[in-house]
Structure 1
Amino acid sequence: MRLNEWQLAFEAFLLDETAADAGLGNSLIGGPTLNVGTGLAIYHNAYKARLLDVLRNDFPTIWHWLGDAEFDQLATAYIRQQPSAHYSLRWLGKGFEDFIREHLVREQSAPLAELAALEWAFTLAFDSPAGTPLTIDAMATLAAEEWPTLQVKPAPSLQWLRCAYNSVAIWRSVKAEADFPESQALASPQVCVIWRSELVCSYRSLASAEADALDGLLNQAWNFSELCAELAVTYGEGAALQAVTWLKQWVQDGLLERLQR
């Protein structure tokens, strides 16, 4: 058996529930205290255990919610359907949200999948490139004529999640080791933004008006003048002040980079 054939056979054994084929077994030599079958079983079980451990670490709130047995059952079904295809296990949980939506009935899948999206957003934010976020000092150097056409883009770590359930409260309760709240639908959807500053992930829920304003800048390519014009409908003469107030907060949080044309 050639090396690449042996590697493929070993991979198939790790990913499958069946016993190793004869070719793989015959290519190995047991020791005085560990025969081939037992050694292969150890590898097989250790690999599955490692994958489950990764998903528990990436989705601790879902693990807490479901408990050990139910979480492992769900995670095992996910791994069986979507085996790890990347050299880094960091990407193992990428499809967990979609799997939950497809695998469970809607009444259970909707809040659980949203929670998976929230936990995965923290993973994406933490692992993102550093980027060059705007700073208050950089904003202070802008000439007056630059402000009307100023455009921004999201910092690389910024994640945007529209929540229909109290997922943030549930996640926060596990993080703080507090009482676990009952899952509930929100009266109206709420945007949560997640980002990383240095090596720490932060999050904040946005009121609808602030979320709409930030969405306009990031997803509708508004410049600062257009932001003020949109806010004037609600805030009248105070639109510019409100725009500056929010912009200062977003810059201090590290959510934005300047968009250069």
Structure 2
Amino acid sequence: MRLKEWQLAFETFLLDEDRSANLSLGKSLIGGPTLDVGTGLAIYHNAYKARLLEVLRNDFPTILHWLGDEEFDDLAMAYIRRYPSAHYSLRWLGKGFEGFVREHLVPEQSAPLAELIALEWAFTLAFDAPADEPLTIDAVAALAPEEWPELRVKAVPSLQWLGCRFNSLALWRSVKEKADFPESMALDIPQACLIWRNQLICSYRSLDSAQATALDGLLNQGWSFAELCAELAVTYGEGAPLHAVTWLKQWIQEGLLVRLQR
């Protein structure tokens, strides 16, 4: 058996539900005095899937807490069978977990569960995102008056924006803080949740609708500072510039923004 053929046979064995190796693969191996070929392969078979489950358990601890060990493992193994690991790094194993849950379960079950999966995955994405130099208060203070109207920003690479229709953040926080686990429920008003990395620590918070609209305008619609003030004037009138400056200062202090250069 050539090396490539052997590698493919071993991969097929690891991914197969059947723990018995095909004849060619079994004959290519030599057992030891205390471990025969069949037992050794069975150990590899079990250890591989156990490692995949361990990765998903670590990536989605709130889902694990909510479902419990047995139900989580059943769901995770169904996901692994449907979408086997295809990347050299296990870092990406959970990438399709949210989509799988939405297609695997009925909407009444999948909606809150998938949203919580998306929230936990957002923390992973934020932590692993490339670094950038956030805009600072000192840099903004040094702007000339004529630079302010055309000031434009973008999000730091780690910023994740999640629209929440359920109390997913409360569920996640309860596990993180080892508090009582609340009942999952729909929110009266959907909210935006931000997750980002500042230095080596992931931060999060929710936004009210007014702040979410303003920040979305800056980051996704390309508003300048002058355009932000004009949009806020519809609601806040002469107080619009104060609201704009207050929110901008907060977003800068939180490390959310990078200045867009002309």
| Structure 1 length-normalised TM | 0.99
Unaligned runs of 5+ in 2: none
Secondary structure, in 3 states, of the residue corresponding to 2:196? Answer: strand
Structure 1 unaligned blocks of 5 or more: none
1:199 maps to 200
CA distance in 1, matches of 2:95, 2:126: 13
> Which residue of structure 2 aligns with residue 100 of structure 1?
101
- What residue number does 2:15 align with? 15
Bigger shift: 86-95 or 141-150? 141-150
Once superposed, which parts of structure 1, at least 4 consecutive aligned residues long, lie more than 6 Å away? Answer: none
Find the aligned partners of 1:143 and 1:180 in 2 and give their Cα distance: 51
How far 1:13 moved relative to its partner? 0.8
Amino acid at match of 1:5: E
Looking at structure 2, the residues matched to 176 and 134 of structure 1 have their Cα atoms a distance apart, in angstroms, of 31
Cross-structure match for 1:3: 3
Q: CA RMSD in A?
A: 0.6
Provide the rounded CA distance (Å) in 2 between the counterparts of 1:3 and 1:146: 64
User: Aligned residue for 2:50?
Assistant: 49
How many residues were matched structurally? 261
Structure 1 segment 121-132 matched on structure 2, within 5 A: 121-132=122-133
- 1:17 maps to a residue whose letter is E
State the Cα deviation string for residues 35-76 of structure 1 (Å, max 9, x = none). 000000000100000000000000000000000000000000
1:102-121 equivalences under 5 Å are 102-121=103-122
Write out per-residue CA displacement over residues 17-38 of structure 1, whole angstroms, 9 at most, x where no aligned residue: 1221111111100000000000
Equivalent residue number for residue 247 of structure 1: 248
Q: Does 1:24 align with 2:25?
A: yes
Alpha-carbon separation, structure 2, partners of 1:120 and 1:30: 42
Give 3-state SS (helix, strand or coil) of 1:96's partner.
helix
Counterpart check, 1:39 vs 2:45: no
Q: 2:65 aligns to what? A: 64
Residue identity in the other structure for 2:14: L
Secondary structure of the corresponding residue to residue 164 of structure 1:
strand
Separation in 2 of the partners of 1:168 and 1:104?
22
C-alpha distance in structure 2 between counterparts of 1:249 and 1:219, whole Å: 18
Relative to the length of structure 2, the TM-score reads 0.98
Distance 1:33 1:260 in 2: 67
CA apart distance, 1:141: 1.5
Looking at structure 2, the residues matched to 47 and 180 of structure 1 have their Cα atoms a distance apart, in angstroms, of: 32
Measure the CA separation in 2 of the matches of 1:114 and 1:38.
Answer: 41
